[in-house]
């Protein structure tokens, strides 16, 4: 295998930038923790690691393929830790799992660009965007999250006041709950 030319490297990094930007734009529009630049950097970084692996195959054909496998394994594990930074858990819910998964998938697309698998990376980006944009609408329609805001007494006075837009009543209900 021949070492990569500067043009090959630029093309692969450019494709990784585009794939990361596509996912990043969607995440940024929804104001998620990992947005536009973060997704680009994740994709570029993954591509860079894979380019190092491709160069290793060119330089050391007998051991290079095993090294690429190790790079992929380390990359996917490391990206899992990075994605975990987007996950927030509180008493009621876990948030950020979709962003964490988007981080992981964007890394995979970047790695594919490193191998010059542009069609595969592009298809992954399209399916990722389909999942993040179109399937979100399906999920919201058929599997809505409950938005119950019961006060401590079990009634819905706070939620009802919010729905009516009665800010004064919201304050009164909150103050009442604090006294108890």
Three-state DSSP string of 133-158:
HHHHHHHHHHCCCCCCCCCCCCCCHH
Decide which of 91 and 48 is more confident: 48
Q: Among 40-44, 48-52, 64-68, 148-152, which stretch is predicted with the lowest mean pLDDT?
A: 148-152
pTM of the model: 0.67
Instruction: Provide the 3-class DSSP secondary structure of residue 96.
Output: coil
- Name 85's Cβ contacts closer than 8 Å, sequence gap at least 6: 33
Helix axis angle for 36-59 and 64-84, nearest 10°, is: 160
CB of 46 closer than 8 Å to CB of 111: yes
pLDDT (tens digit, 9 = 90+) per residue, 2-17?
Answer: 788 999 999 999 999 9
116: left (phi over 0), alpha (psi -120 to 50) or beta: left
Give me the pLDDT at residue 70, please: 84
The set of residues, in sequence order, having a beta carbon less than 8 Å from that of 75 and lying 6+ positions away, is 46, 49, 50, 107, 111
* Phi-psi domain of 154 (left: phi exceeds 0; alpha: psi -120 through 50; beta: other): left
Strand partners, 89: 94
Instruction: Provide the pLDDT for residue 165.
Output: 52
pLDDT tier for residue 153 given thresholds of 50, 70 and 90: very low
> Mean of the pLDDT values across residues 19-35?
90
Q: What is the separation, in whole angstroms, between the first and last Cα of the chain?
A: 74
Q: What share of the chain is helix, strand, coil (3-state, %, to 5)?
A: 75, 0, 25
Per-residue pLDDT tens over the stretch 97-134:
888 889 999 999 999 999 899 999 999 999 999 999 99
The DSSP 8-state label assigned to residue 35 in this structure reads -
- Per the listing, tokens 């060119």 go with 58
Over range 40-59, report the average pLDDT. 87
106: nearest Cα among 25, 5, 166: 25
Q: What value does the mean pLDDT take over residues 147-171?
A: 47
């Amino acid at each position: 295998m021949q070492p990569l030319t500067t043009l090959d490297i630029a093309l692969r990094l450019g494709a990784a930038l585009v794939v990361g930007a596509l996912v990043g734009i969607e995440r940024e529009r929804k104001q998620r923790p990992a947005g536009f630049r973060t997704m680009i950097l994740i994709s570029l970084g993954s591509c860079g690691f894979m380019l190092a692996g491709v160069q290793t195959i060119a330089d050391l054909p007998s051991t290079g393929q095993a090294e690429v496998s190790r790079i992929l394994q380390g990359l996917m594990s490391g990206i899992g830790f990075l994605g975990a930074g987007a996950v927030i858990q509180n008493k009621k819910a876990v948030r950020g799992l979709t962003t964490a998964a988007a981080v992981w998938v964007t890394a995979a697309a970047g790695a594919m660009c490193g191998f010059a698998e542009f069609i595969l990376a592009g298809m992954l980006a399209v399916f990722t965007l389909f999942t993040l944009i179109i399937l979100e609408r399906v999920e919201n329609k058929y599997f809505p999250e409950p938005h119950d805001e019961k006060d401590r007494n079990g009634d819905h006075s706070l939620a009802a006041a919010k729905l009516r837009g009665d800010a004064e009543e919201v304050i009164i209900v909150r103050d009442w709950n604090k006294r108890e």
